[in-house]
Amino acid sequence: MNYDLEERTAVFGEKIINFVKSLPDSNINRPLMNQIIKSATSIGANYMEANQASSKKDFINKIRICQKEANETKHWVRMIATANSELKDYCRILWKEAHELTLIFAKINRSCKEN
């Protein structure tokens, strides 16, 4: 199924939310859960802001934030996988999607700079 990027980032945020709901509540998981929710859900929020940007500079700035948040999400997925080794396989899927989003936003950023 093909999504537009706004939908894709929203679906990714929803997957992260549902994933976090399934994690055991522990002193190790709690801060990781908070961090990944913040970074993963802000990808879509910033992309929506980029689409309403008041200037090209504003658009590029929001796209850069999307890229950074997607990249940060990869880190938190890795930490959660380390803390919950039984979830490594699903974490690989989430990491891959965060990585693809990072690459997409990097490409958009480069394309804007070239034009």
By residue range, what is the domain housing residue 15? 5-19+26-114
Query: Quick check: 54 and 3 in contact, CB under 8 A?
Result: no
pLDDT score, position 68: 98
C-alpha–C-alpha distance, residues 110 and 22, integer Å: 37
pLDDT score, position 3: 57
pLDDT score, position 1: 41
Query: Quick check: 78 and 91 in contact, CB under 8 A?
Result: yes
Show pLDDT as tens, one digit a residue, over the chain (115 residues). 445 999 999 999 999 999 999 999 999 999 999 999 999 999 999 999 999 999 999 999 999 999 999 999 999 999 999 999 999 999 999 999 999 999 999 999 999 877 6
For residue 70, give the amino acid letter.
A
Number of domains in the chain: 1
Q: How far apart are the first and last CA of the chain?
A: 30
pLDDT score, position 114: 72
**CATH number for 85:** 1.20.1440.60
